[in-house]
Amino acid sequence: MRAFITFLFMLSVLLCDTLFAQENTMTPSAPTAASAATPQWMKESVSKLENELASKYSEQQRARLSRGLHQVAEFWRTGDGDAATFDNFIRTNFAGDQSAVDTMFNRFEHLLEQLNGHMQEIDREFRQQADLDAGPVLPYDEIFGGYDPSAHVLDDFFANKLAFIVLLNFPLTTLDERLAEGPKWNRRQWAEVRLAEMFSKRIPGEVNLAIAKAGGDADQYISQYNIWMYHLLDSQGRRLFPPKMRLLSHWNLRDEIKSDYADGKDGIPKQRMIQQVMERIVTQTIPQAVINSPGVDWNPYTNSVQPAAEHDGQTAERAGTGATPSREPDTRYAMLLGTFHASKKADPYSPTAPTLIARRFNEDREIPEARVQAMLNQILTSPLVATVAKLIESRLGRPLEPFDIWYNGFRPGSKYSEAELDAMVAKKYPTPEAYQKDIPNLLMKLGFSSERAHHVAENIVVDPARGSGHAMGAAMRSAKAHLRTRVEKTGMNYKGFNIAVHEMGHNVEQTFSLNDIDHTLLRGVPNTAFTEALAFVFQGHDLELLGLPAPDARSEAEKTLNDFWGTYEIAGVALVDMAVWHWMYDHPQASPHELNEATVEIAKGIWNRYYAPIFNRKDVVLLGVYSHMIDSFLYLPDYPIGHMIANQIEEQMKKAGNIGSEFERMAKMGQVTPDLWMKNATGRPVGPEALLESTQRALTSIQ
C-alpha cells in the first residue's frame, strides 16, 4: 500500500471545485484579494463588469459575481490575454441563473470523472511492470513508472480557460469555512466545494512531473529493499532464518518480529537480529552488498560480510569475520531529499498552504497539524501505556526490549505459529486468482449480503505485487479497483494474506465511495487516515476469514489492547516523520548525510521522551525505520489517526451488529470534513477518546 501517490493526489485535487447555486444556502467566501501586481486595466474591468452583469442578471447575483471576478483576477496572467480578452471571457462565461449553474455543474462533474478515470488507467498501466511481480524491471520501465500523465492537466485547464470558468462561477472555500459552515451544507453543496479546490493552485506541469518522478524513484528504491534472511549470521555463525526467506524493509521485517513471538526456541535471537538490521538501515551503516542480494553472508552485529554459501540450503557454520564492507552511501536519505526538493517546487504556487506540511494537514487531512500532534501526545502520554506495558512484561516473563513496540501477543492468532498460518493460507490461495475468486465469500463472512459482496467483488482485480502490496482504486465508474499483494511461488503466505485483507478493505471502500455515491465529485473519504481506518477494520478480522474461531469477549478485549499498543508505536513514528519534514524545511540545503544524522537524532529524541521511560533504554532509532517516510510524502501521521478512527468505527459497528451494512453506509458519505464524517458515522468527532475508553474497559475485563 503506497501511503501517498503523487498522481492520485493530483487526481483528488482534480476532482475538487466549487459551484455556487443561486438558491444555495452556502455562505459565499470573501473575495480573494487580488495580487498587488494586478494591472490597472484589470481593476477597471472588474469594477465595470460587476456593475454591468449585476444589472443584466439581477442584484442577487452581485455577491457571486464579485467573488468570481476577484478569483479570476488573482490567477490571470499576462499570457492569458489583454483587457479585451478578459472582458469577453467574463461576459461569455458567467452563469447568471440557476439553470446555467446546474448545467455547468453537471457537465464538469461528468467530464472530470472521465478525465480522472482515464488518467488513472494510463497511470496504472505505465506503473504495471514496476508494481507487479512480472519479470525484471528495465530502465525504461522505471521511466514509465515515474511519468505522470496528468502532470499538465492544470496547465491545460488554465491555458484553455476551463479553470477560469470555474473560478468565475463557483466559490473557493477555506478550511475554517468548511469546518464552520460544512455541517449546514447539503450533498450538492459539498460536491460543489470539492469541485472548486482543484483550481485553488496554478502549479506548472513541470513541477507535477518532478514530484511524480521523485515519488516514483523513491518507490522503486523502497520496493527493491529486501534482506535475505538466511544469509544473516550470529556471532557463532548460525543461521536463524530458513533458506530463501527474503523480507522487504520495513514491512516484512516488522511482521517477522511479530511472528517470532510464537517461536519459543529462537524467537528472541531472531527479533534482536532483526532489530539490529533495522538500526543499520536507519543509520545507513548497512553494507551496500547485502541489500537485495543473497550473494554474501552478513553478521549485522559486527557488520562484517563474506561470500555466501553456494546454495541457500547449504549448511555453513562459518563465523562472520569477513572484511569491513562499504556501507550504503546515504541513499535512503538522498531519496527522501529528492521527494522534499520536488514537493518544495510547488510551494510558490500554493500561497494559502506554502509548504508540503501545510498542504498535507490543512488540505489533504483537513485536520490542523497542532490538533494532530495533540491527539498523538494524548496517546503517548496516557497512563494506560505503562499499564499495558506491565501486562506485556508479565506475559513475556522478561523486561521489555525495544523490538517489543511490535509485540503481537494480544492478537488472538498469536498462538498459531507462522508456519501453521502460512500453510493454511498457501493451501487456500496458491495464486492471486484463487484469492480473487474467494472475495465474495470473504465479504459475506464480514456481514455483507451475497448481492453486495458479489457487486464489490466484480469491481476488484487482484494482481501479484512486486513489493508488499497496495490498493489502487478506480476513478470512474466503468473501471475497476486493483488489489496488489505479494504471492510467492509456493503460494500466498500469511503476511501476504494479512496485507491482502487490508488492501481489500481499501478496495471495498473505493468501490462504494465511487460506484454507489450520489456525486462522483465526493468520491472517497475525508482523507487517507479514514481509508486506512476502514482497511484496519478488515485486517483485524483476518484470522476469522481463514476460518479460525471468532473472538470471544476476552479476545475482543485482547484485540483492543493490540490496537492501543499499535497506536502507541506508530504515534511516535508519525512524530518522527513530521519532525523530519520540519527539519528539511529549516535546512533546505542539507546533504543526504546531514539528513541521515538529523533523522537519527530526531528518532532518538522522540524515543527518549515517550518510550525510554517504558522500555528503560535510551537512544533507540527504530522509530525511523518505516519505508513510508522515504517514499510517501509525510503520510505516516495517517496511521495513528487511522487507528483512532478505526476504533470509533468498530465501536459503532458493534453497536449496529453488522460490519457490512455499516461499512457501506459510512463509505458512501464521501469526502466531507473528517469531523462531519465521523459525527454522521458515530455521533462524535475524530479523536483518541474512544480508543482510550475501550482500552480502559479491556484492561478491566482482563485483569
pLDDT score at 313: 59
- Enter the C-alpha cell of residue 154: 492544470
- Enter the C-alpha cell of residue 147: 511519468
Asked whether the predicted pLDDT for residue 703 surpasses 80, the reply is: no
Query: Going by C-beta distance under 8 Å and a sequence separation of 6 or more, which residues neighbour residue 655?
Result: none
Residue 283: CA count within 13 A, CB half-sphere: 17
Residue for cell digits 496547465? 155
| Most confidently modeled range among 322-336, 413-427, 448-462 | 448-462
Give residue limits of the domains in the chain: 6-200, 225-328, 336-387+550-702, 417-545
Nearest to 71 by CA among 30, 10, 26: 30
pLDDT band for 559, please (50, 70, 90 cuts).
confident
Query: Going by C-beta distance under 8 Å and a sequence separation of 6 or more, which residues neighbour residue 700?
Result: none
Q: What is the DSSP-derived secondary structure letter of residue 105? A: H
Task: Give CA–CA dist 47/38, Å, rounded.
Answer: 13
Decide: 250 and 577 in contact? Cβ < 8 Å: no
pLDDT score at 312: 60
The per-residue pLDDT for range 9-34, each reduced to its tens digit, is: 333 333 332 222 333 334 334 333 33
The per-residue pLDDT for range 462-501, each reduced to its tens digit, is: 988 877 677 888 889 999 999 988 888 899 999 889 999 9
Query: Going by C-beta distance under 8 Å and a sequence separation of 6 or more, which residues neighbour residue 299?
Result: 232, 233, 234, 235, 305, 319, 320, 321
Nearest to 263 by CA among 273, 251, 271, 255: 271
Q: Does domain 417-545 have CATH number 3.30.1370?
A: no
Task: Give CA–CA dist 83/44, Å, rounded.
Answer: 9
pTM exceeds 0.95 for this model: no
pLDDT band for 324, please (50, 70, 90 cuts).
low
The per-residue pLDDT for range 239-252, each reduced to its tens digit, is: 999 999 999 999 99
Asked whether the predicted pLDDT for residue 311 surpasses 60, the reply is: no
The per-residue pLDDT for range 630-639, each reduced to its tens digit, is: 999 999 999 9
Task: Give CA–CA dist 234/317, Å, rounded.
Answer: 10
Preceding amide of 454 cis, omega within 30: no
- Enter the C-alpha cell of residue 698: 479491556
Asked whether the predicted pLDDT for residue 184 surpasses 90, the reply is: yes
Nearest to 696 by CA among 378, 388, 409: 388
The per-residue pLDDT for range 129-169, each reduced to its tens digit, is: 777 777 888 888 888 888 888 878 888 999 999 999 999 99
Decide: 635 and 628 in contact? Cβ < 8 Å: yes
Asked whether the predicted pLDDT for residue 321 surpasses 60, the reply is: no
Instruction: Check the CA dihedral 599-601-605-611 and report its sign.
Output: positive
pLDDT band for 412, please (50, 70, 90 cuts).
low
pLDDT score at 59: 95
Nearest to 69 by CA among 47, 40, 85: 47
